[in-house]
Amino acid sequence: SPEHRVKVSIRHPLMIPDLAIIDPECTLSMPPAITAATGLDAFTQLLEAFLCKKPNPMTDGFCRDGLVRVVRSLRRAYANGSDRNAREDMALASLFGGLALANAGLGSVHGLAGPLGGMFDAPHGMVCASLLPSAMRVNLALLQTRSPESIALERLFEFARWTGGNTAEEGIEWISTLCRDLQVPRLASFGVTEQDFPVLAENAQRTSSIKVNPVALTASELEQVLRGAL
């Protein structure tokens, strides 16, 4: 709603299709910028659902498979849109991300991306990508101090290994490098300033996504995520 500067989801049982066809051929002509935005959104969905407070064996399977596909194929799809194998990987990763988030949840990135999308004219996928490295750094630091036995910490290490890293920090650095290589803008480029942080953090705390972030975040900690992405 541009008038109220609020992004809302429209949901109804009648919107659920009887059949969904996932055809990567339809994505071959997608330009690099759209490939990056949609691919990074799928990536964020998978990673947040993998780390959230309410995973289950079904969503874990979707996330593990999908994340491995993103790691090996998102750069390739961005660099060469006609790479059919990369497009197939990303189409499946996107499907798996949707199934995972619907059955597990998300986290602070999507908790903030909703309010940001309502207040600013910014593409959702790029907003998610701009927030993702900062959100993962804040989550990691808080998990290490507050919940050192958390399964989310183990999963950050697991993800890092898929990227060729040995530590959670190296996995997050891989994400940062990916975002730079795919030309993800900073939040400031969308007109966001530090003066917007309090209302963004307040609105994020009311979202369903923030409730399943792997560690509870205060308004100040949400502002820290925003500051790291500015």
Q: What's the per-residue H, E or C state across 150-176? A: CHHHHHHHHHHHHCCCCCHHHHHHHHH
The whole-number mean pLDDT for each consecutive block of 10 residues of the chain, a chain of 230 residues, reads 66 89 96 97 98 97 98 98 98 98 97 93 94 98 95 97 96 98 96 96 94 96 97
Which two structure tokens, joined as six digits, stand for 121? 């004219």
CA distances (Å), origin 198, targets 26, 31, 156, 174, 203: 41, 35, 28, 29, 9
pLDDT tens figures, 193-218: 999 999 999 999 999 999 999 999 99
Does some domain include residue 7? no
Does some domain include residue 178? yes
Q: What are phi and psi of 115, to 5 degrees?
A: -60, -40
The answer to whether 78 and 39 are in contact (CB under 8 A) is yes
CA distances (Å), origin 219, targets 191, 192, 203, 210, 226: 21, 17, 10, 11, 11
pLDDT score of 2: 56
How many domains does the structure of the chain reveal?
Answer: 1
CATH number of the domain to which 121 belongs? 1.20.1090.10
pLDDT score of 9: 75
Does some domain include residue 115? yes
Does some domain include residue 4? no
The packing angle between helices 57-79 and 84-103, to 10°, is: 150
pLDDT score of 4: 59
d(CA 147, CA 31): 42
Please state the pTM of the whole predicted model: 0.94
Does some domain include residue 14? no
Residue with tokens 């961005």: 78
Does some domain include residue 144? yes
Does some domain include residue 10? no
Q: Residue 210 belongs to what domain range?
A: 31-229
Does some domain include residue 26? no
d(CA 122, CA 196): 15
The answer to whether 129 and 40 are in contact (CB under 8 A) is yes
